[in-house]
Amino acid sequence: MLSTRAKSLKPSPTLAISAMEKTLKAKGIDVAGFGAGEPDFPTPDHIKEAAIKAINDNFTRYTPATGTDELKDAVMDKFKRDNGLSYTREEVIITCGGKHALFNLFQAILDDGDEVIIPVPYWVSYPAMVELCGGKPVFLETYEEDEFEIDVKRLKSLVNPRTKAIVLNYPSNPAGSVYSTKTLEEVGKIAVEKNLLIISDEIYEKIAYEGYNHISIASIDEKVKERTIICHGVSKTYSMTGWRIGFAAGNKDIIKAMGNIQSQSTSNPTSISQVAALAALTGPQEPVKQMVAEFLKRRDYIVRELNAIPDIKCFNPKGAFYVFPNFSSALGKKHGDKMINSSTSLTEVLLESYHVAVVPGVEFGKEGYLRLSFATSMDVIEKGLKRIKEAISSLK
Ligand code: PMP
Ligand code: GLU
């Protein structure tokens, strides 16, 4: 009954874990949830009010399939203001979430068998989307001891005539790692030399901590800009995960193809959400600063506490709201009769016996790690870390 593609596709593990968390909570179980990667703050009031006004003004019909001109202009202003990048309306598309921008993009650029280089650890949906679009994910290992920086020689060794694109995501999900300007320049150089596209997922640009100044790879030089498609959105910056507005900017032929795909599949992103996103991008940015200040407090606490657990190491994220601690010292131990032989079995013990929900590192391509989202209250973080410490000390 099912297509081969659908048969091999599993649901997003991050969304599956947050769903599991919700089910347990509905049963009255006090779960400390570190699963979902979504800000726990309400969407700022001025954004909600803009959406309510849009409904009352009957702005409830189809818009152009690729988004309204007003929102495209606001996105263009954002790129100019924040990244020094000039785009025309033809080079910008509004999508039904950042995920949808990426999906349209893979649909637009991949033929069967085309290879896409994805640095590991990666956000769960990149390989799945590449495969759904007929492409082949090719993994580029990066390591905690190098702060998950790309080794340019290793990158070069993966490029072959089938290589179509490389995916960059910084600040990254799951590690919160970023790339130095030197790395961005070198990756840009390789892309130009080898005729690769760069897919730069900069959705966590604004969730950045002290000292990190985000530079878009598209701003390296004009040649790099020509082959870079930036994927972005309002979900994380403005606590708007449910509104489903993303955007992308880059080469106008690719953007046009993404628009054709969108016009034949979803049509326009929700009209009301587009008005809300316009208010988000053009309105006061103070709520973003407040949210980031709160994330910073949580990051400092969670990194300190995780590093205080014997034999556990945690990289200090420069951005986003995840930590990706190394729990490999727990592998090979036992919890009661249960052997802990993978990040998945450790995750099961944490959920079943300690009611802590985390995502196994293997879902991001790295065994021995766990991902914890700290987009949750300090109370939950304190409670959850206490339970994790207890769990780790109980392993024999
Ligand atoms: N890219 C990354 C790296 C993400 O973590 C997410 C979170 N889901 C997205 C894209 C897409 O977010 P959304 O579809 O909510 O805009
Ligand atoms: N990006 C978020 C996460 O990684 C949301 C879940 C998803 O879209 O998969 O948790």
327-376 confidence digits (pLDDT tens): 999 999 999 999 999 999 999 999 999 999 999 999 999 999 999 999 99
Pocket test for ligand 1, best of 94, 120, 203, 281 (most atoms within 8 A of CB): 203
**What does the H/E/C string look like for the chain?**
CCCHHHHHCCCCHHHHHHHHHHHHHHCCCCCEECCCCCCCCCCCHHHHHHHHHHHHCCCCCCCCCCCCHHHHHHHHHHHHHHHCCCCCHHHEEEECCHHHHHHHHHHHHCCCCCEEEEEECCCCHHHHHHHHCCCEEEEEECCHHHCCCCCHHHHHHHCCCCEEEEEEECCCCCCCCCCCHHHHHHHHHHHHHHCCEEEEECCCCCCECCCCCCCCHHHCCHHHHHCEEEEEECCCCCCCHHHCCEEEECCHHHHHHHHHHHHHCCCCCCHHHHHHHHHHHHCCCHHHHHHHHHHHHHHHHHHHHHHCCCCCECCCCCECCEECCECHHHCCCEECCEECCCHHHHHHHHHHHHCEECEEHHHHCCCCEEEEECCCCHHHHHHHHHHHHHHHHHCC
Report, as an integer, the average pLDDT of 309-316.
96
How far away, in angstroms, is 241 Cα from ligand 1 center? 9
Mean pLDDT, residues 377-388 taken together: 96
Residue 72 in tokens? 């495209």
Ligand 1 lined by 203 (C-beta under 6 Å):
yes
Q: Kindly report the average pLDDT of the chain as a whole number.
A: 96
List residues bridging with 201 in a β-sheet: 169, 231
pLDDT at 15 over 90: no
Question: Whole-prediction pTM value?
Answer: 0.97
> Regarding the domain delimited by 61-282, which CATH topology (the fold level of the hierarchy) does it fall under?
Aspartate Aminotransferase; domain 2 (3.40.640)
Q: Which atom of ligand 2 is nearest to the CA of 173?
A: 4
Average pLDDT of the residues in 173-186: 98
For strands 322-323 and 370-373, give the pairing.
antiparallel
Q: Contact at 8 Å (CB) between 117 and 148?
A: no
**Hey, which residues does 232 pair with through a beta bridge?**
247
Indicate the domain borders of the chain.
Answer: 4-42+287-394, 61-282
Mean pLDDT of the region 286-313: 97
User: Is the CB of 201 inside a 6 Å radius of any atom of ligand 1?
Assistant: yes
How far is residue 381's CA from residue 299's CA, in Å, rounded to a whole number? 10
Residue 203 has pLDDT above 90, yes or no: yes
Is the bond preceding 121 in cis, omega lying within 30 degrees of 0? Answer: yes
Task: Enter the tokens of residue 388.
Answer: 């994790």
CATH architecture observed for domain 4-42+287-394: Alpha-Beta Complex (3.90)
Residue 10 scores a pLDDT above 90: no
Using a 6 Å cutoff on CB, does residue 241 contact ligand 1?
yes
Q: What residues have CB less than 8 Å from 15, skipping those under 6 apart?
A: 36
Q: Which of 17, 106, 123 to mutate to test the pocket of ligand 1 (most atoms within 8 A of CB)?
A: 123
- Pocket lining: 235 vs ligand 1, CB cutoff 6 Å: yes
Report which protein residue has its CA nearest ligand 1's atom 7.
37
Q: Is the CB of 12 under 6 A from ligand 2?
A: yes
The response to whether residue 37 sits with its C-beta less than 6 Å from ligand 1 reads: yes
- Does residue 167 line the site of ligand 1, with CB under 6 A? no
Q: Determine the average pLDDT of the residues in 289-306.
A: 98
Any atom of ligand 2 within 6 Å of the Cβ of 15 = yes
Question: What does the block give as tokens for 284?
Answer: 């006061």
Report how far residue 248's alpha carbon sits from residue 348's, in angstroms, rounded to the nearest whole number.
37
Share above pLDDT 70 across residues of the chain, in percent, rounded to a whole number:
100
Q: How far apart are the first and last CA of the chain?
A: 46
pLDDT at 22: 87
